[in-house]
A and B are shown apart, each in its own frame.
Chain A
Amino acid sequence: MELLPQLLINGVIFGSLLAIPAIGFTAIFAVLRFPNFSVASHATIGAFAGYAANVWLGLPTVPALLFAFTTAAAVGCISDEIALKPLRPYGALTAAIASIALTIVLENMVRLGFGNDLRGYNLPLMRDWRMYGVRVGPQQLQNLILALMIMTIVFLALKFTRTGKAMRAVADNPELAELKGIDPTFVGRLTVFFGMGLVGAGGMLLGLGTSIDPLTGFRFILPIFAAAVVGGLGSIPGSVIGAMVIGIGEELSILVLSATYKSAVGFFAIVIVLIFRPRGILGERKF
């Protein structure tokens, strides 16, 4: 087995899966201007909704993924309306603290229903493919293709639909957008819906490769933040690039660090980027 190409392939696959929740996180930041830490619980909710659809209802991956998206989007919208929206006027930090409290509430609701046991998806077992000494699982490849399709849909929607344009307008300049007749509250709701939906779908995609438990989302929170910060908080293309950097970085770190330190890569990436280029790779505003 060739180590380096294998790690690069794994990194690209992990990075593209990571990009989905990172897009959700960064989009919510761009429009609502606070780091919403409840992405952790929404990723978990997506993973468990997908599990319920896949194992209990026997649905295949793609419908289960849609179910994960819808559930996380709905929970995201409702919980934001009740818990976070009234607190946003108090400032970004108050909303950020409340979003951690929200994460704890939602994560424990999942725990209340499902317990702490590890659960695995019901997936057909397939033999890994080998090419030039590199191993790739068909499931991994399917996840990669799904992630790329989701990204394509997101970019097309932002570029060409009215709603997508409205979101970009609010992210760019909320006052000007409002003058032009765009309702920021409505756009905020839409962003939470699609953002948390993406986070939920991402949670399921990331969970497909392993088993899931109520802490699944929390385990990915560092790489998700790191992807968003490295790419430039609030920039959607940036979050995809950031996710690739983190994904490949985590895999390559195995060459020099023990595998258990993979998730530390995210933290160091955040610190390095913030010291040398605080706005990230594609961020436009300097903070």
Chain B
Amino acid sequence: MLSYFLANLTFAGIYALLALGLNVIWGMAGMINLGLAGFFALGAYASSIATVYLEFPIVLGVSLGVMVAATAGGVLSQLSLNLRGDYLAIVTLGFGELIRLIATNETWLTNGSDGISGVPGPFRSSLTPLAFNAVACALVISTVLVAWFISERIRKAPFGRALRAIRDDEMAAAVAGKPVRLYKIQAFAIGSALLGLAGAAYAHFNSYVAPDIFRPLLTIYIFFALTAGGTGNTLGAVFGAVLVIALLEGTRFIEPFFESLSGVQAASIREIVIGATLIFVMRFRPKGIFAERPPRPLGTSD
């Protein structure tokens, strides 16, 4: 039971990293990214391939995963910078599918739909499964804390203020002399780096990656986490991620009461609940549980 709890806390941490990454891209800079599962997959696969096939140490593998995702984010945003938001939605969704297609088909690199197994975890061989879960949980939570700290710094820094200005009125930000294009690419790359980091953490904790894991469903989970928590609010992003895992796992405990349901049916009901709740939250609490509170300018008081 403790092991199960720790594992879910770890997954919540990974979702929190994803939500923080999406928060930089969508919450702060207002760029939509419906392909975040693709960046998550890039981080996971890059780190797995580096540590399993090339036998890199884990730290190097994870950094590689982060770099690959950040580069892909930079390039994709560079390509689609002039597009209006709804086009970017289509392009990023397509990107996510493309990554999944590559992961399924380039068997020499990714082992196709069988996936890569035996991805090393930190100290996995010398620990009991429970102790490993505890170590992984502690590592992921400290990573979330670091990512949260960085996000907060970005949010309060001039860079973060400029991003919000771009999000709210791009033209005005450009007139004020902000390098809009550069900032948007940077924001997308920073956010993608966090998404890639989450992917790498997932691969090393789970010890297995396969294309099935990176379905667009994940994108909805994370948008749910961010929207429920409060778009643009870093604390809300973390809270929302915990909420998603609690919803997903909590509903498992109700399942035994409905014996007539098959596993597939139970899973589909869970997903219906998540999707419907997201629509509900967007409609009745569009600012989320914690609304965004932009930091006050220096030298002002309440």
Contact = CB atoms under 8 A, between A and B. Distances in A.
Interface stretch (B51-59, B66-74, B82-90, B202-210): B82-90
B276 interface: yes
Contact of A263 (B101, B279, B282): B101
Interface stretch (A58-66, A85-93, A153-161, A164-172): A85-93
A98 interface: yes
Given A111-B264, A260-B104, A267 B89 contact: no
Contacts of A104: 217, 220, 271-272, 274-275
B191 to A, nearest CB: 16
Contacts of A111: 264-265, 268
A222 B94 contact: yes
B80 interface: yes
A193 interface: no
Interface in B163-217: 216-217
B46 interface: no
Contacts of A102: 275, 279
A90 to B, nearest CB: 6
Nearest to B223: A97
Nearest to B217: A104
Interface size class of A (residues with CB under 8 A): 35 or more
A225 B97 CA distance: 12
Interface in B93-120: 93-95, 97-98, 101, 104-105
B282 A260 contact: no
Contacts of A83: 279
Contacts of A274: 79-80, 83, 87, 91
B220 A93 contact: no
B89, B91, B94, B272: most-surrounded residue (chain A CB, <10 A):
B94
B216, B268, B278: most-surrounded residue (chain A CB, <10 A):
B268
A35 interface: yes
B94 A100 contact: no
Contacts of B23: none
A249 interface: no
A34 interface: yes
Contact of A93 (B86, B264, B275): B86
Contacts of A173: none
Given A93-B85, A93-B89, A261 B105 contact: yes
Contact of A267 (B95, B219, B275, B276): B95
A280 to B, nearest CB: 10
A174 interface: no
A209 interface: no
Contacts of B89: 35, 37, 93, 96
13 contacts: A96-B86, A97-B32, A97-B227, A100-B223, A105-B279, A108-B271, A109-B268, A109-B272, A222-B97, A233-B86, A263-B101, A271-B79, A271-B80
Interface of A: 29, 33-35, 37, 83, 86-87, 90, 92-94, 96-98, 100-105, 108-109, 111-112, 115-116, 218, 221-222, 225-226, 229, 233, 258, 260-261, 263-264, 266-267, 270-271, 274-275, 278, 287
Sorted nearest first, the 8 A-B pairs with minimum C-beta distance are A108-B268, A105-B275, A104-B275, A267-B94, A111-B268, A101-B275, A101-B278, A108-B271
